[in-house]
Amino acid sequence: MRQIIDFHIHSKYARATSKFFELDVMVEWAEIKGVDIISCADFTHPRWYENLKKNLEEDNNSGLYKLKNLDSKVRFIISTEISCIYRQNDKTRRVHLCILMPNLEAAGKFNKLLEDAGAKLASDGRPILGMSAKQVLKFMLEADKRAMMIPAHAWTPWFAVFGSKSGFDSLEECFEELTPHIKAIETGLSSDPIMNWRLSKLDDITLVSNSDAHSGPQIGREANVMELRERTYNEIIDIIATKDKKRFLYTIEFYPEEGMYHVDGHRDCKFSCTPKESQKLKNLCPKCKKPLTIGVLTQVDKLANISEKDLDKTKHIPYKSIVPLPNIIADYFGMRKQSKRVQNLFLDIIKQADNEFNVLLDLSELELKKIMPDILAEGIIKMRQNKIKLIPGFDGEYGKVEIFSDKERQEAKLNKQTKLF
């Protein structure tokens, strides 16, 4: 069975997360988006962990959980994110890590090991630990050998294993002799698989993509599509650990230009530039002379040993790039995606299509035109064909996507068909 999986989201106990982000809201939005298996989020937080134990029940000893007293096909996988801030090799390191656990009991053992080591888990849904990524990996393996660690958003400048500001140049530098236990990394919103393929030292590493959602609408903005023989934790972990291309069908990706740290730049001065331009500027903002925030594209260029034109794409798990449907509708109307008109049309389309991924990935152009204005359907086809304009994000600013021309937007406003939806 085809399953769409999002391994990395947050609960209401994590900073900058919706205060309404409870388990039932996660299920509701997973159904809207078309996500089948989703992270339970933040299991290290004591109050959230108790909430998980009270409201989730394991589904037939599968290692996956369902919400009690709710008839839904959505299942939870036990996972969390941890922030490690520490010194190694005379440099401050800031690394975020996703942890997958086979059950809530193993998660509880892991929590206790961290607390016994002095971790203040109640401080945040994504706790900040003053210990190395390697030490956290040791605790994870002690809690349960079936657990899996995945370095989160691996290229983000400030908080990632390969981050330009406080990361490492290799997995081996970070995890040392325990590196063989790292089977996967998360690409993050500002990189896509093809950028990671340029590092031959990642050839044996599985690339996963997740939303890192802090609210319901963000669920599934990146995800993983697998063909499962059995809907179990062990099956999922085996697919990742073995990098099985027959069962790991593809990842669903943001266009990396949409991410907040794709190119170099300085947000305060509204300046951004390519890696080559940064070199000419000696990594200084030309407007204020302060250091630029070096983006993911430059960091990949620094560590890569293969050019994009020399890649053998056939040996890798494929991917599909998407733009979230509310963003497409917002561009169509020339409005903010939070506007009432955009949200009303989004929900109307979902009612007819069952979920968002059906719209973005599966329905034909003819089927799309039955449930939305023709120009909007044509925009979705353009997205699938990569015929869109991208303005890359930098220094914490999301990039922008333009699918429709000014002429098309004007036609949309005048088109009577638009008023029918």
When pLDDT is averaged across residues 101-123 and rounded to a whole number, the result is: 98
Q: Which residue shows structure tokens 């298996």? A: 37
The closest alpha carbon to 398, from 347, 308, 320, 336, belongs to 336
pLDDT bucket at 6, cuts 50 / 70 / 90: very high
209 within 8 A of 222, measured Cβ to Cβ: yes
Residue 310 has pLDDT above 70, yes or no: yes
Tell me the percentage of the chain whose pLDDT exceeds 70: 98
Strands 389-391 and 248-254: unpaired
d(Cα 191, Cα 372) in Å, to the nearest integer?
31
Residue 298 has pLDDT above 70, yes or no: yes
Residue 412 has pLDDT above 90, yes or no: no
Structural domains in the chain?
2-258 (3.20.20.140), 324-420 (no CATH)
Angle between helices 133-143 and 104-116 (to 10 degrees): 130
Residue 192 has pLDDT above 60, yes or no: yes
Q: Is 96 helix (H, G, I), strand (E, B) or coil?
A: strand
Q: Is 397 helix (H, G, I), strand (E, B) or coil?
A: strand
Q: Is 265 helix (H, G, I), strand (E, B) or coil?
A: strand
Q: Which residues have a Cβ under 8 Å from the Cβ of 354 and sit 6 or more positions away?
A: 34
pLDDT bucket at 409, cuts 50 / 70 / 90: confident
Residue 328 has pLDDT above 90, yes or no: yes
d(Cα 275, Cα 301) in Å, to the nearest integer?
8
233 within 8 A of 102, measured Cβ to Cβ: yes
d(Cα 22, Cα 2) in Å, to the nearest integer?
26
When pLDDT is averaged across residues 377-401 and rounded to a whole number, the result is: 96
Q: Which residues have a Cβ under 8 Å from the Cβ of 104 and sit 6 or more positions away?
A: 43, 49, 52, 53, 56, 58, 65, 78
The closest alpha carbon to 210, from 24, 9, 54, 21, belongs to 9
Residue 421 has pLDDT above 60, yes or no: no
Q: What is 91-106 written as a DSSP string?
A: EEEEEEEEEEESSHHH
Strands 206-208 and 184-186: parallel
d(Cα 385, Cα 250) in Å, to the nearest integer?
16
Q: Which residues have a Cβ under 8 Å from the Cβ of 413 and sit 6 or more positions away?
A: 333, 334
Q: What pTM did the predictor assign?
A: 0.96
pLDDT bucket at 418, cuts 50 / 70 / 90: low
d(Cα 30, Cα 6) in Å, to the nearest integer?
9
Distance of CA 236 to the CA centre of its chain: 17
Mean of per-residue pLDDT scores for the chain: 96
When pLDDT is averaged across residues 143-158 and rounded to a whole number, the result is: 98
When pLDDT is averaged across residues 235-264 and rounded to a whole number, the result is: 97
Residue 124 has pLDDT above 80, yes or no: yes
In the chain, what's the furthest Cα-to-Cα distance?
65
